[in-house]
């Protein structure tokens, strides 16, 4: 399949979001630039929020690089994601102060409660977990952020309560949405 034909066909799809069209223009504009593979992967992630299989196929055909090699590059660099981000972004601090105050227990809790480690998204799509070097409030160690909110002095029990509260909030929002749709 010629990727240019495929790209033009896709561009004519009526409801294609602008950001995704942006990725497809980048496929044409950046294909011959130095480091085009990384540039195109970055463009795909910016457009889709992650790198979907179809973007890998486009890039593979355009640059004549086997998809398996592209997967290798994606998994090598931590900046790239193969799954969409969860609805709630959790940043767990693994800096020195948090490390000595048992941030490890929080990571275990995320594994037990959400089934995820750093860099992963929960199966229900509600949570993504990232690690950071310092959140700038070391006196509250161990610290995490859930979206824009900081939570400090955590232990497993407090963290479990916190995650439960977020889940309940999401459930309420979901029920409200369903109720509004039913009216
Ligand atoms: S080391 Fe965790 S907030 Fe600074």
pLDDT tens per residue, range 60-106: 999 999 999 999 999 998 789 888 889 999 999 999 999 999 999 99
- Alpha carbon nearest to ligand 1 atom 1, residue: 95
Q: Are 143 and 106 in contact (CB under 8 A)?
A: no
pTM: 0.70
Please identify, by atom number, the ligand 1 atom nearest to the C-alpha of residue 134.
Answer: 4
Judge if 41 and 121 occupy the same domain. no
15 lies in some domain:
yes
Judge if 124 and 68 occupy the same domain. no
The parent domain of residue 145 ranges over 91-182
Distance CA 135, CA 149 (A): 11
82 lies in some domain:
no
Q: Are 156 and 145 in contact (CB under 8 A)?
A: no
The model's pLDDT over 93-106, given as tens digits with 9 standing for 90+, comes to 999 999 999 999 99
Judge if 105 and 24 occupy the same domain. no
Distance CA 35, CA 59 (A): 13
Question: Looking at the 3D structure of the chain, how many domains does it have?
Answer: 2
Select from 76, 110, 133 the last residue of a domain: 76
Neighbouring CB atoms inside 10 A of 60's CB total 18
Residue 1: pLDDT band by 50, 70, 90 thresholds?
very low
Please identify, by atom number, the ligand 1 atom nearest to the C-alpha of residue 94.
Answer: 2
Distance CA 7, CA 78 (A): 28
């Amino acid at each position: 399949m010629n990727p240019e034909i495929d790209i033009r066909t896709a561009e004519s799809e009526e409801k294609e979001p602008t950001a995704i069209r942006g990725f497809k223009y980048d496929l044409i504009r950046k294909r011959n630039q130095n480091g085009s593979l990384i540039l195109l992967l970055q463009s795909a992630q910016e457009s889709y929020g992650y790198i979907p299989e179809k973007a890998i196929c486009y890039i593979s055909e355009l640059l004549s690089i086997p998809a398996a090699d592209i997967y290798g590059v994606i998994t090598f660099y931590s900046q790239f994601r193969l799954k969409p981000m969860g609805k709630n972004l959790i940043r767990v601090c693994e800096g020195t102060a948090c490390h000595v105050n048992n941030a490890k227990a929080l990571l275990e809790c995320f594994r037990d409660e959400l089934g995820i480690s750093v860099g992963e998204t929960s199966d229900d799509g509600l949570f993504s977990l990232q690690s950071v070097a310092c959140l700038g409030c070391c006196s509250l160690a161990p610290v995490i952020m859930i979206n824009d909110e900081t939570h400090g002095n955590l232990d497993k029990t407090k963290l479990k309560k916190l995650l439960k509260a977020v889940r309940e909030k999401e459930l309420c929002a979901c029920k409200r949405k369903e109720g509004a749709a039913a009216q």
